[in-house]
Amino acid sequence: MCTLEQRSNLFILTLTGNNQHRLSPTLIAAILSALRQVKSVATSGSVLITNSKGKFFSNGLDLPWALAAGCRVKALSRLSQMVESLRHVVVPTISVVQGHAAAAGFVLALSHDYMLMREDRGVLYMSEIDLGGCLPDYFTVLFRAKIGSGLARRDVVLGGRKVRGREAVEMGIVDGVWGGEERLGEAAVELAERLGARKWDGEVYQKMREGLYPELCVVLGAVTGRIQAKL
């Protein structure tokens, strides 16, 4: 499912296994458990990196599990359960996208304060328009908060555009791209160490984040203290 490694004030959360890392209730629960562990020992200057193994960062919610419920009503109930659970995974960190990030997997990556991507592999893709599904409210607000260009948001959300590394930089979605998994990982650690060296106060950082993304914080459960209490 996932592992959590601590290197001084740096925490590395890794989605393990050579699979699609679909966000099932089990995986979401495992991520939340890891976040609770981080919160229990984090100090000023602590930084969290989220990355993955294999071809995918995450291929979205576990639709096969939802459909296995046997009928439309039960399937929608399972889907709603995952959407609401994922709402509380959104935290300020660094995401390392070394493979495909689709639908809710894209949302998970974008929810971090910094987003790094591998140049030679992987795409960002919001598949809902092609699947005929509407976006949950916080998905939409997140895209408005994190992608400044209206044209870029249109292409991603309404156009179902599959965005690769260099394009993602040009569209203002990711902070940078690197060739190869090893170099990407090194870049993430270097960024985390630079941020951690500033020894920022976590509560001050959180308040400033709320001011920067007020609509997002409200739709996620307003004032992020509610979210923090669940981690």
pLDDT at 206 over 90: no
Mean pLDDT over each residue of the chain, to the nearest integer:
89
Q: At 39, which amino acid appears?
A: K
The predicted pLDDT at position 220 comes to 77
H/E stretch holding 13 reads strand 10-15
The predicted pLDDT at position 88 comes to 60
Q: Are 108 and 101 in contact (CB under 8 A)?
A: yes
Tens of pLDDT, residue by residue over 72-107, are 999 999 999 998 888 765 455 899 999 999 999 999
Q: At 94, which amino acid appears?
A: I
Give the whole-angstrom CA distance, residue 144 versus residue 228.
22
Strands, sheet with 94-97, edge to edge from the N-terminal-most edge strand? 2-7, 10-15, 47-52, 94-97, 114-118, 176-178
The predicted pLDDT at position 217 comes to 81
The predicted pLDDT at position 230 comes to 31
The predicted pLDDT at position 92 comes to 55
Instruction: Provide mean pLDDT across the span 225-230.
Output: 34
64 burial (CB, 10 Å; 0-12 / 13-18 / 19+) is exposed
Grade residue 231 by pLDDT with cuts at 50, 70 and 90.
very low
Q: 14-44 burial by CB neighbour count: b if 16+ within 10 A, else e?
A: bbeeeebbbbbeebbebbbebbeebeeebee
Give the whole-angstrom CA distance, residue 133 versus residue 129.
6
Tokens of 90: 């959104």
Q: Are 181 and 117 in contact (CB under 8 A)?
A: no
Grade residue 39 by pLDDT with cuts at 50, 70 and 90.
confident
**Closest by Cα among 100, 102, 60 to 83:** 60
Grade residue 228 by pLDDT with cuts at 50, 70 and 90.
very low
Q: Are 99 and 59 in contact (CB under 8 A)?
A: no
Grade residue 159 by pLDDT with cuts at 50, 70 and 90.
very high
pLDDT cut 90: percent of the chain above it: 71
The predicted pLDDT at position 229 comes to 34
Q: How far apart are the first and last CA of the chain?
A: 18
198 burial (CB, 10 Å; 0-12 / 13-18 / 19+) is exposed
The predicted pLDDT at position 197 comes to 92
Instruction: Provide mean pLDDT across the span 63-71.
Output: 93
The predicted pLDDT at position 204 comes to 84
Tens of pLDDT, residue by residue over 96-155, are 999 999 999 999 999 999 999 999 988 999 999 999 989 998 999 999 999 999 999 999
Give the whole-angstrom CA distance, residue 60 versus residue 188.
22
